[in-house]
Structure 1
């Protein structure tokens, strides 16, 4: 038996009037999920423990079987593992997004955050901009490291785990009250605007109608994590297929195989087929027990507030990942169990994460008992199946 998790980041949502008062997951054309849902267990799972922030960090740890209350030390330290930064016990890692703030003449504190991803900036462009920041702002205390797209890393020597606000939580708002209380962090953010606002890359981006990547934004502070190896915890070998450093960092910390897929970028135009094929190769050629396919696109489209693009991301997940993976496993005559779910909802109406339970679909290729359930939020709730401790759902996947 092989095991597979297909996770659509932020895929769950609320009913949207423009989608006939349905959710993007319910509205999307998803023939593969429709096919397998009739043979699956459908239900709801709480991936974010009560009282914890609804982030992809806590939620994906939970889905992988790690109780966030026990293992979570912050988001950025997990990304540091992926980038290859060896943190000292006294280091604090900070997420260093490159964001878009308004280009008006107002003081920095009175500017508005426009876009947390700077029009999904490429890693290549972001690396040039971060290098400009690094030359001006890096010291023995603060070091900057390139990540993926708009997601980068700062290591603070002998730092503090200070309270910081995620930029996607304050889209469209004046930033003053959300800036760090720590003066050094706040000043670096302000100076970054002066460094980046007229950078040649941003001049070109604005000519093309793209948002300028004109400020850094610190958040997600934390200390070095210590995850138990996945194989020791579950008894199964596993691989991670994701474009984002957070998920790759979790996998590094858990001693899972990290599979790099060319063209996987965390956006709507990611290499879906490459991710699907990488999972099949990990399961069949490498003979690993388990593969985790993480797709960032539904979450990004939720942050953008675009229900049309979120529907498209879900349809791509269905037709270009789930269909492709299952057809290959079936053609190989391989028995498998597949869990499909989001990590958390990212409703397009509010453009940020919420901690509500999410719908799951658990398919077993050896099960021939059919029913009429479809995979969406409404029917998952109506099923009556509910898993309160999200970090136990992986045990449910691995059950005989």
Structure 2
């Protein structure tokens, strides 16, 4: 077992564009981030393209890249990644859908996607609703599996028609305040799928049985079961992932990494930062590598909330980066920090811009930049064109 330790800290959706209300600064430039700033001054800083050209800028693709896997080769869909997190036993012919509980104005072409998270529905309420949907609609043709908060799964068992696998349904967080027409037309190409979506909306819209904001399901991100390279075999290190979201847990599970559950990890501003840090440092007593993911900046970007995004970035710095930095003090350790993609407040969804990253370790070449930001990262001239190269690049430089 190597004595060297590496922690990869991901602030999902932290990257952004200049904001007029901040005097032309980005939220990362404006937020209070003394720990990331110090690591950036003392370490190497650059940009990394986490979204391959022609692929959608989703967290599934971006985090797969950051874990060293080529999405163009391995990505089959978001649903299969989250199925891996739940440990679902699948056959090669199964089709797995991500199933959001959402709030829409109406299930008709002129209807609008109001909230991709149904008001950030809590997990117990959501679980009860998904179990109700399974009881009423599940069967040989589809099985509903509860997940966390608004994120759930539907599995269509083997021999599903190719038409369903190829449907182009937009992610709900990409179409906030937009009409549903193109997606409903896609659902209607597969009568059984369209029937399930319609009947789910009718059940969820019944106020007698549902007091939450969820009034529809949104099936998207479908694909066949996932297969990824084994992390230990590839990097000769024992690794773990820590996240509130099944997406990241599923990537770790598929790579044979330890998936560390932290009570109170919510994926939002109220997440258990302290528990995540403690789990990381505890694993590193024996293990080598931790991928610690924080979802809150992305959620705040989707909300379009400048106040909350500034808070999420500052909390990430104060409650994750700072304690990890202190916990590794005096050890032969490296800290890698990045976001997986931008979630600009003005767009309220993901964009494929190259993301800033920093690599700090005791012998790192100091960049000398004043603070960690998108513009400062671009100013160094260091650019990795393939996201899957960042982790091997960082481990190789630390090994020197």
Q: Is TM-score (shorter-chain normalized) higher than 0.5?
A: yes
2:195 is aligned with 1:192: no
CA contact (8 A) 1:346 1:354 kept: yes
CA contact (8 A) 1:338 1:364 kept: yes
CA contact (8 A) 1:73 1:224 kept: yes
2:75 is aligned with 1:95: no
Give secondary structure in 1 for the equivalent of 2:118: coil
Q: Which runs of 4+ in 1 moved over 6 A?
A: none
2:334 is aligned with 1:337: yes
CA contact (8 A) 1:4 1:292 kept: yes
Give secondary structure in 1 for the equivalent of 2:328: helix
Aligned residue in 1 for 2:174:
169
CA contact (8 A) 2:107 2:198 kept: no
Shift of 1:290: 0.3
Matches within 5 A, 1:163-312: 163-179=168-184, 180=187, 181-200=189-208, 202-203=210-211, 205=212, 212-284=213-285, 287-312=286-311
Count, aligned residues: 386
Q: Distance in 2 between matches of 1:366 and 1:288?
A: 22
Residues 43 and 195 from structure 1, CA distance in 2 versus in 1: closer, same or farther, beyond 3 angstroms? same
CA contact (8 A) 1:3 1:397 kept: no
Residue of structure 2 aligned with 1:62, choices 40, 62, 65 = 65
Shift of 1:258: 0.4
Shift of 1:352: 0.8
Shift of 1:47: 0.5
Segments of 5+ residues of structure 1 without an aligned counterpart are 206-211
Residue of structure 1 aligned with 2:10, choices 7, 15, 20 = 7
CA contact (8 A) 1:185 1:218 kept: no
Per-residue CA deviation, residues 267-318 of structure 1 (Å, 9 max, x unaligned), is 111001111111111112xx11100100011111111111111111111100
CA contact (8 A) 1:5 1:292 kept: yes
Shift of 1:366: 3.5
Q: Distance in 2 between matches of 1:153 and 1:364?
A: 40
Aligned residue in 2 for 1:73:
76
Aligned residue in 1 for 2:134:
134
Give secondary structure in 1 for the equivalent of 2:284: helix
Per-residue CA deviation, residues 312-360 of structure 1 (Å, 9 max, x unaligned), is 1111100000101111111xx2121111111111111111111111111
Q: Distance in 2 between matches of 1:113 and 1:383?
A: 40
Residue of structure 1 aligned with 2:378, choices 376, 381, 390 = 381
2:22 is aligned with 1:25: no
Shift of 1:202: 4.1
Residues 369 and 111 from structure 1, CA distance in 2 versus in 1: closer, same or farther, beyond 3 angstroms? closer
Per-residue CA deviation, residues 63-87 of structure 1 (Å, 9 max, x unaligned), is 0000111111111111001112111
Q: Distance in 2 between matches of 1:315 and 1:201?
A: 40
Give secondary structure in 2 for the equivalent of 1:346: coil
Q: Distance in 1 between matches of 2:45 and 2:363?
A: 16
Q: Distance in 1 between matches of 2:89 and 2:147?
A: 15
Give secondary structure in 1 for the equivalent of 2:256: coil
Aligned residue in 2 for 1:143:
143
Shift of 1:240: 0.3
Residues 395 and 202 from structure 1, CA distance in 2 versus in 1: closer, same or farther, beyond 3 angstroms? same
Give secondary structure in 1 for the equivalent of 2:109: helix
188-197 or 301-310, which deviates more: 188-197
Shift of 1:60: 0.5
Segments of 5+ residues of structure 2 without an aligned counterpart are none
Aligned residue in 1 for 2:360:
363
Give the structure-2-normalised TM-score: 0.94
Q: Distance in 1 between matches of 2:274 and 2:260?
A: 14
Aligned residue in 2 for 1:110:
110
Residues 390 and 265 from structure 1, CA distance in 2 versus in 1: closer, same or farther, beyond 3 angstroms? same
CA contact (8 A) 2:102 2:118 kept: yes
